[in-house]
Structure 1
């Protein structure tokens, strides 16, 4: 994938003719020529020529986006004062992790105790859990800071992850677009998008998964630049020595790839679906290595990648990912009360024999426990009123209601994960366009967005029988919005475009972004649990399946 074809700074770029463009006839009067760019482009170029204004834009734009993200995720975070949806599992698991080192069982009426501010009702009996501990440890940190009876403490860890997700989205967008405008657009869309807001305001695991998955993908981008530079140096040295290059080098020192492996391991330590991101981006790394070797002139670039670099890349990324995942279970290993710690479901289990007889007993029990979790996941098919198969996620056919309370006076409160319809449906349409564009142009921003979609959405299509929910899509939503931003960048074109194309493009994008913001203001009460009249509430249910 090429790095930056067609994604220049799209507002205020210096006016110069494109390569191959027909130069204007000097004899033609200026008044009869078609102007390049727009008045906004020319004004913007003048403003950005002032270093102080340029610096204020580069830092102030992203800072404003982060402020919006913080306000939409933190204001009123303690409402409602009760466990909503799957908080009943993750908040209680987090509290026992913090006190026992493992997830323990609770009595049936424990939620009422939490609502009353008393989280002390747990037992010491290990509880079977469906997801690894890391996300719950992050929830636990917030609870330890404010107390287990404070709903703000239940949710602050995930809310901070949601704000960091916006920041990381902008950092990643800047890496792929090299445009401050598109960086602000990508982060701004995520900051005001309803599903992202809701999933940052409830103590579930999926926003934490999204953060680590995007971090791993960002580090893969950094690794690509690092590896390409070192490959070029190696090739230059061989060329200077007059040596022919057949297979190319095996690059061992790739710190960004090591870090990416750790980040993907952290994602898999929140939910097992993080493994899909590791697998997809590991393959993508090899493809990019092969492309770079071919560009550099390596004779056997494909076989050199497969037989020399691939084993090294595997050793640099997969073992550290496994180590991070195993480390997330430290509390379970260090204590004796966790579920299956001394045998699954209270049974001792037969010790391993033969070549595996040396494996310590706790590791054997842990492996049996993971097998039980895997069996649960592939068989999980409990009917649920808000279940939504993955094939419907792009259309927002069945968003999840996290909380609803009819106050009996003609008003109600709700927290419903309805995405900003304009943003979500535009992003879905954009991804269809980007599939075609990538097939034709191999652009890095487009390919990056499609990789995230492949890792976060496509694997779920393989399990149509499993119970799923729309909010799982937050894991790939940053990639989705980076893809939408790429499409916006294509529509905007360049500040060097003729005004006959540029001006309508600026108006179209400006109106679209303005409508997205208005849509957020309209749906915000549905995402944050405000008290609103029932008639206003009903006006938000555009589709029957949203009710």
Structure 2
């Protein structure tokens, strides 16, 4: 009876269990350390300025004054910032609810991190048609260190990840609905194939990608990759439906989606700048008025000023080449070769059972997930090229969109923690590989005992490794010697 009830409620149990695990690792002691961790110095303070002044003002004083509750150093002079404000507005929402405290400025990242884990579980369940594999995907992302650390700090990348995963999920809903219409259509499938009506879910996905771009411009790469993937899905589904001109039919709808993207995504992105348009004290707000005849003069002054702002910000990003202890080569991101240390301090007021106690936060992805994921990704790429495996392409696209665009910028000052946007999709690749190992195609979905045992052992080992690494993902005080045991590679120190 209990087993039957559990089976009947298996989807709800999946969602609740992975959400609970993710929440435990993201909300536990979230207000610690009582300090601005790594780049929180930019984004938490910028968010507070948006909340209180409506624009990002310059800060004086010491960086850590803000963490101590001193907000008197905020000025009314606009601060030059090089990232859009959606992520900072969400950080500000957390401070609106809980005040300008570490818990307040980290709350929304932790919440959206948990929601992302649940979304990935449902995505995997849909793609692999299995609640069990959906649960595995949710568990693996829940115990990934890169995702945990970024969920627990007020940086922008977790918000980028949330909107990218949401956009991908919306495209999957769009495909499911459109595919159902194509395969069950009463219309004759001659010509371009059956009409599918307005693709509202695809339009919603475009809005989500616009919001991702409003967090960081790298959201554009995901938009391009996933919208192209949705056209490939269309071609495959129209061909399966028997449309005589399946390629032309998919292309026509793809052109329509491209036009919609050219309109909807920029409008969404522009809407995220409304606080800047409404704040005359924002940095560069009056540039056009102060430089008559410069820029794109046929644009209204506000848009001309915004365009100039973006030109200078792009130049900043393009030429950023300042040496940093934790800068990393993107070619090695997939194996987490040089992860970012967010925080490291000696702790003197806590007895950890050793002469030297430290609190450390390292954005190290769970090694088993990333190292095994790199191997499965290589297999997925082989399947794509040799077997034209559409499911392999579906799960691998997000990894490639998060990784390949950075490779030409290996000379720039960039960091491994950017891979948090890759983590959900690497998990999908890994779980796809585990499912093929445990349920090989040659057995038509039946379980292969050796493969199932290997998959179960791997997932169990990943959870054990997560328990070992959790203290340096969360920042719990630990003996210095225990911290050293986590530095598996010399490049991690």
2:217 aligned partner: 272
1:406-421 correspondence to structure 2 within 5 Å: 406-407=346-347, 409-421=355-367
1:538 to 465, 468, 484: 484
In structure 2, relative to structure 1, the CA distance for the partners of 1:59 and 1:229 (3 Å cut) is closer
1:104 to 42, 52, 57: 57
Q: Supply the RMSD in Å over aligned alpha carbons.
A: 2.2
Q: What is the alpha-carbon distance in structure 1 between the residues aligned to residue 32 and residue 453 of structure 2?
A: 39
1:95 aligned partner: 48
Deviations 1:299-335 (A, max 9, x none): 33333433x3233112333322211111111100011
TM-score by length of 2: 0.93
1:57-456 correspondence to structure 2 within 5 Å: 57-109=10-62, 111-148=63-100, 150-232=101-183, 236-238=186-188, 245-248=190-193, 251-306=196-251, 308-343=252-287, 347-351=290-294, 357=298, 359-407=299-347, 409-456=355-402
Contact residue 445 and residue 482 of structure 1 kept, 8 A? no
DSSP-derived class of the 2:76 partner:
coil
Alignment length (residue pairs): 486
2:352 aligned partner: none
Structure 1 gaps of 5+ residues are: 1-45, 240-244
Contact residue 400 and residue 416 of structure 1 kept, 8 A? yes
TM-score by length of 1: 0.84
Give 1 or 2 for the bigger CA radius of gyration: 1
Contact residue 445 and residue 483 of structure 1 kept, 8 A? no
| Offset, 1:250 | 6.5
Contact residue 251 and residue 312 of structure 1 kept, 8 A? no
Deviations 1:219-262 (A, max 9, x none): 1111112223334466x3236xxxxx333466550011110100
Deviations 1:453-504 (A, max 9, x none): 1211111112122211010001121010011000010111179959x98222
| Offset, 1:443 | 4.3
| Offset, 1:442 | 4.3
Q: What is the alpha-carbon distance in structure 2 between the residues aligned to residue 371 and residue 421 of structure 1?
A: 39
1:507 aligned partner: 453
| Offset, 1:352 | 5.6
Contact residue 234 and residue 250 of structure 2 kept, 8 A? yes
Deviations 1:120-151 (A, max 9, x none): 32001111111110000000011111111x11
1:42-53 correspondence to structure 2 within 5 Å: 50=4, 52-53=5-6
1:484-495 correspondence to structure 2 within 5 Å: 484-493=430-439
1:470 and 2:443 matched: no
| Offset, 1:372 | 1.1
| Offset, 1:389 | 1.6
In structure 2, relative to structure 1, the CA distance for the partners of 1:291 and 1:369 (3 Å cut) is same
Q: What is the alpha-carbon distance in structure 2 between the residues aligned to residue 352 and residue 237 of structure 1?
A: 53
Q: What is the alpha-carbon distance in structure 2 between the residues aligned to residue 219 and residue 443 of structure 1?
A: 22
Contact residue 295 and residue 308 of structure 2 kept, 8 A? no
In structure 2, relative to structure 1, the CA distance for the partners of 1:497 and 1:313 (3 Å cut) is closer
Contact residue 448 and residue 479 of structure 1 kept, 8 A? no
Q: What is the alpha-carbon distance in structure 2 between the residues aligned to residue 202 and residue 352 of structure 1?
A: 38
Q: What is the alpha-carbon distance in structure 2 between the residues aligned to residue 130 and residue 312 of structure 1?
A: 32
